[in-house]
Amino acid sequence: MIQGGKITFAKLCHEELLRQKERDSIGLYAEKRLHSVLKRWMYDDFTAHEQKVPQRDGKTSRFVADILTPSGEIIEIQTGELFRLAKKIAFYMEKTDFKVTLVHPLTVQKWVSWMDPETGEVSARRRSPRHDSVLSGIALLKSLAPFLCDPRFSVLFPLLELDEYRLLDGGGTSRKLRSHRFELMPLSLIDAVRLSTRADYLAYFPTELPDRFTAKIFQKYTRLRGYALYDALAVFEALGAVRRVGKEGRSTLFERQ
């Protein structure tokens, strides 16, 4: 389900760009701009933004929700690493009765430009070969695995097109190694995927996998690598989709459930 729709998202991107130009501070609010667009797209009523969350017993807490709607839904928007939200989400699920939606954008199309920090010269805009998928997004949920099947918890992945400007302030002859991001500009909403039930998550489990497989075989069918590969397996293991059944050489052997 797309919340405000693609046209609304594009309109909000344009409005946030104008607001930033008015501040005369281009580049200082890179992550905040994306966060702001998503917050308004989810619930464009500022009175519900940045609200203290009461506990089930009525006591106040130290946690502030990005959005707390009058109907009793908490919406948390995280553009960075999801494990940083683990304690906050655990508090919501264990100490309150609110429904909780976690919104995390996935970049399915990105354009990259490089900027010389001394001259301000910007390179030609090029399409990045790197992109996220719903499966790579699921891998990011490892720290939240205990809540994935809770009927009060759901995850929304907006699939976005973004413009990224990076500074040529890194190492190596190209000055791109460990460089810093200067600006991240949301351009358009391509789609949105909501995951609420176990079946929603299992819909992205590769059905072509053999009954027994190793991480290397899982990588072949998912194209996930590194931490994402093993974190995705951990999530599906927590969901009861796979289980460990021993070893094949030095590799852990998994079995589909």
If you count DSSP H runs as helices and E runs as strands, how many of each does the chain have, helices first?
A: 7, 11
For 208-257, the fitting CATH number among 1.10.10.10, 3.40.50.150, 1.10.287.3510, 2.40.50.100 is 1.10.10.10
| pLDDT of residue 20 exceeding 80 | no
Residues of the chain with CATH 1.10.10.10: 208-257
Q: Which among 144, 135, 40, 160 has a CA at the least distance from the CA of 88?
A: 144
State the Cα angle at 94 between 89 and 98, rounded to 5°. 70
| pLDDT of residue 166 exceeding 60 | yes
Amino acid 22 reads E
Q: What is the pLDDT of residues 49-98, one digit of tens each?
A: 999 999 999 998 999 999 999 999 999 999 989 999 999 999 999 999 99
| Residues in Cβ contact with 228 at an 8 Å cutoff, skipping those fewer than 6 apart | 136, 139, 140
Confidence band, pLDDT 50/70/90 cuts, at residue 21: low
Q: What is the pLDDT of residues 98-127, one digit of tens each?
A: 999 999 999 999 999 999 988 989 998 999
Share of the chain above pLDDT 90, in %: 81
The residues facing 111 across adjacent strands are 127, 163
Q: What is the pTM of this model?
A: 0.89
| pLDDT of residue 29 exceeding 50 | no
Q: How far is CA 195 from CA 52, 86, 130, 137, 162, in A?
A: 26, 17, 23, 11, 23
Compute the distance between CA of residue 126 and CA of residue 179 in angstroms, rounded to an integer. 17
Confidence band, pLDDT 50/70/90 cuts, at residue 27: very low
Confidence band, pLDDT 50/70/90 cuts, at residue 31: low
Amino acid 207 reads T
Per-residue pLDDT at 165: 87
